[in-house]
Structure 1
Amino acid sequence: MKLKVCGMKYQENMQAVAELQPDYLGFIFYEKSPRNFDGDIPKLPDEIKKTGVFVDASIDFVIEKVKKHNFKVIQLHGNESSQYCRDLQSELECFSETESTESIEIWKVFSIKDQFDFEILEPYEGIVDYFLFDTKGKEKGGNGYTFDWSVLNNYPSETPFILSGGIGLDEIEKVKEILKTDLPIYAIDVNSKFETAPGLKNIEELKIFKEELNRMREG
């Protein structure tokens, strides 16, 4: 079970979170977000995959950020079509070949509240590497509350997915329960529930969560 910490904004805080060795660190490029990132990322361990989060951005803008920050994952949090994802996939493959770097993952986000039409996923199958399910709310992520995870019992795909949306220490038991199912959950994505301010993560609480997640992995 992988762990992604999203919405990073401050350098010292990034380095402190990186010491906990999450699998992914997310950086949001969306001006309407209080966690919008506009700066330099400090040197991080190679094992941590830097993730660029975008909302209906142009492919040129995405590629520009990939080149600048060496992202290993692109997370699409808007209304990006399957054709957009296909075009982005082609651009990322060209970039990886030119730079002789490992392939770059594409994660496509879908927001859920009380129900979801899983047929929406079909055009993206075989194009994106993972789906990410987040809580549908006023903001594009970081709403601070979970959706009804029982909706995922009807998940029809073999494509692994990331579980996101309002996950904090209070959700540990719920996480334990859903991980007992046969659902292809690849990672847990956390953000606002571990913040003292937008983009500023509580290291001690993250450490506790990471330790609990490690126990789940071992168990």
Structure 2
Amino acid sequence: MSDPLVKICGLSTPETLRAAIDAGADFAGFVFFEKSPRHLGLEAARRLGPIAQGRIRKVALTVDADDAALDAIVAALAPDYLQLHGAETPARVKEVKTRYGLPLIKAIGVAARNDVETAGDYEGVADIILFDAKPAPGAAVPGGAGVSFDWDLLRGVTAKDWMLSGGLDSENVAEAIRRSGARAVDVSSGVERERGVKDAEKIAAFVSATRLS
């Protein structure tokens, strides 16, 4: 069985992007959401895109973005994937996929088993389902809060390709993979030294711990 895939999300500097590449991560996530402490402006995206090009898969994360915003992001970053992390309906996901012709990751917030089951609504539309901890009611940001959920809820997930996120770090990722059966993991706050600031050593430790799981 191949090693689990790793996505490092919320990268915002050349140094931490290179750290993710050097550690052997598979995906680099860039957040385009102004309420997030990891928000990346378009100019920064234009600088980081060439560093990642051909070395790691670029993922542009958005939250209920309209077509104009997505047009600007795609032009600036030239992403390999789009990640929709808001309340996008299956119909909206299909619209975005058709418009850009890019593979799509759709985030699903999980607190209970019925949340996991909603992933079925996106089968055949999203290329990858990302199961993340469900945000608290009224939360300003839908992810990246360092909160996990019951990984056992994901046992038996039928989605063809899916990814686990939410509260992961180098200390718990092996257990999370064992309990959930995940073959791909996504981390953001778990590789930070402070909120929104990535740490190169933590990135390397997380990738290493995932490969050894």
Fold conserved between structures, TM > 0.5: yes
Select which of 25, 28, 37 maps to 1:25.
28
Q: 2-side partners of 1:35 and 1:211: how far apart?
A: 23
What amino acid is aligned across from residue 26 of structure 2 in structure 1?
Answer: D
What amino acid is aligned across from residue 204 of structure 1 in structure 2?
Answer: E
Select which of 108, 126, 129 maps to 1:128.
126
Query: Structure 1 residue 210 and structure 2 residue 183: aligned?
Result: no
Q: 2-side partners of 1:172 and 1:16: how far apart?
A: 19
Change (3 A) 1:148 1:207: same
Q: Identity rate of aligned residues, in percent?
A: 28
Change (3 A) 1:214 1:16: same
Q: 2-side partners of 1:32 and 1:146: how far apart?
A: 21
SS of the equivalent of 1:116 reads helix
Q: Which runs of 5+ in 1 are unaligned?
A: 94-103
Residues 47-74 of structure 1: CA distance to partner in whole angstroms, max 9, x if unpaired? 3001000000012321321122110010
- The question of whether the paired residues in 1 share the 8 Å contact of 2:11 and 2:38 is answered with yes
Q: 2-side partners of 1:2 and 1:69: how far apart?
A: 22
Select which of 8, 11, 16 maps to 1:13.
16
Whose Rg is larger? 1
TM alignment of 1:157-196, pairs within 5 A: 157-178=158-179, 181=181, 185-196=182-193
Q: What's the CA shift for 1:153? A: 2.4
- The question of whether the paired residues in 2 share the 8 Å contact of 1:10 and 1:199 is answered with no
TM-score by length of 1: 0.84
Residues 179-207 of structure 1: CA distance to partner in whole angstroms, max 9, x if unpaired? 6x4xxx34100110110123322222221
- The question of whether the paired residues in 1 share the 8 Å contact of 2:109 and 2:115 is answered with no
- The question of whether the paired residues in 1 share the 8 Å contact of 2:130 and 2:165 is answered with yes
Q: 1-side partners of 2:19 and 2:156: how far apart?
A: 38
SS of the equivalent of 1:61 reads helix
**Partner residue, 1:101:** none
Q: Which runs of 5+ in 2 are unaligned?
A: none
What amino acid is aligned across from residue 195 of structure 1 in structure 2?
Answer: E
Q: What's the CA shift for 1:176? A: 4.4
TM-score by length of 2: 0.86
Q: 2-side partners of 1:154 and 1:176: how far apart?
A: 13
TM alignment of 1:41-120, pairs within 5 A: 41=48, 42-44=50-52, 46-93=54-101, 104-120=102-118
Residues 41-99 of structure 1: CA distance to partner in whole angstroms, max 9, x if unpaired? 15225130010000000123213211221100101000001111111111112xxxxxx
